[in-house]
Amino acid sequence: MADTTVSTGTSQRSWYKRNEIAVTPWLFLIPGIIFFMVYVIIPIFQSFYYSTLSWDGLGEPQNIGMANYAELWDDDAFYTSLWNNFIWLALYLLAIPAGLFIALLLNQTIWGIRLYKSLFFFPFVISQVVVGLVFGWFYDPTFGLFNIALGAIGLGPINVLGDEAYVTYGIIAAGLWPQTAYCMILYLTGLNAVDPEQIEAARLDGAKRLKMLWYVVVPQLKPATFIAFVVTIIGALRSFDLISIMTNGGPFGSSRVLSFYMFEVALSEYGFRMGYGAAIAVVLFLIMLVFITYFLYSMYNEEKGR
């Protein structure tokens, strides 16, 4: 009696029930994967295809092979943008030590420190559009605080955003403001978890200030530094809003970066050259690919270590 019930029970178990643990994750993944494929992964590869076309976005696309890349090769505006991208990458990383510096400054327990921390973090919450607008005024040659400060020490006035030599640095400085705030909050969280016993032990060994920071604290902050590095690199390569708001790429295209130049080529009055824009996208993607590979490699090692 008992035997028969059990056997009918198993045969009645549906295919799904028998494979539940293998099938369920895919049921949960399908909607997310579809969305992500359609809007992110496939478009990345489509960019490669589009970059071989001559297309205004409306008419018939024409396949022109590598002609877009050949044109890029001789395009001064492209090199300016590329070079500016490297400046962005290099200088944006200053947000990491700057963020650590402010975090160390604020890692105290005096009354009201929490409010200070929030207010120092504040710039990160604001849209880059507003940050760009505000810094545009900050640099204004007639009334900007920057030039008032320069005037006070007998210099200036400098029209930062109107001068090809300074404009990119001026915009990066504006970008560093929220980015430093982000790195600061990462380090504040990291500092919270630094092992007090190691600090005490190092203190007994006579380690002080910078030595302590470099040999005892910074190694323990490694996870925070990794995230700060990732978000800063991504932030640097995504820079668009500030450039668009503060200078619109000018003067004479000297503050463009690849992402902005691509937008200009493909979607602005400079003409609807989708193929050429896509070719710039491919170059930007290849730059990012170096970093993505490194990020994923680090994460993969981390996963294996668990």
Chain residues 203-232 in contact with another protein, contact rule CB under 8 A: 209, 212-213, 216-217, 223-224, 227, 230
The nearest distance, CB 201 to another protein, in angstroms, is 12
The nearest distance, CB 26 to another protein, in angstroms, is 7
* Minimum CB distance to another protein smaller for 31 or for 206: 31
By CB under 8 A, name the one of 72, 82, 185, 246 that touches another protein: 185
Quick one: how many helices (H) and strands (E) in the chain? 18, 2
Q: Does 237 bind another protein (CB under 8 A)?
A: yes
The span from the CA of 138 to the CA of 246, in Å, is 11
The nearest distance, CB 189 to another protein, in angstroms, is 4
Q: Does 105 bind another protein (CB under 8 A)?
A: yes
Residues ≥6 apart with Cβ < 8 Å to 193? 220
Q: Does 82 bind another protein (CB under 8 A)?
A: no
CA angle 287, 291, 293 (to 5 degrees): 110
Q: Which H/E stretch holds residue 296? A: helix 274-305
Nearest CA to 135 out of 242, 216, 232, 52 is that of 242
The span from the CA of 304 to the CA of 306, in Å, is 5
The span from the CA of 270 to the CA of 284, in Å, is 20
CA angle 57, 76, 62 (to 5 degrees): 25
| Residues contacting another protein: total by CB under 8 A | 101
Task: Output the six-digit token pair for 185.
Answer: 């909050």
Q: Does 91 bind another protein (CB under 8 A)?
A: no
The nearest distance, CB 234 to another protein, in angstroms, is 6
Q: Does 125 bind another protein (CB under 8 A)?
A: yes
Task: Output the six-digit token pair for 206.
Answer: 């006579």
Strands 53-54, 62-63: pairing kind: antiparallel
By CB under 8 A, name the one of 4, 14, 108, 301 that touches another protein: 108
Q: Does 92 bind another protein (CB under 8 A)?
A: no
Which of the stretches 3-11, 64-72, 87-95, 103-111 binds another protein when contact is defined by CB under 8 A? 103-111
Q: Does 87 bind another protein (CB under 8 A)?
A: no
Q: Which of residues 31-70 bind another protein (CB under 8 A)?
A: 31-33, 35-36, 38-44, 46-47, 50, 57
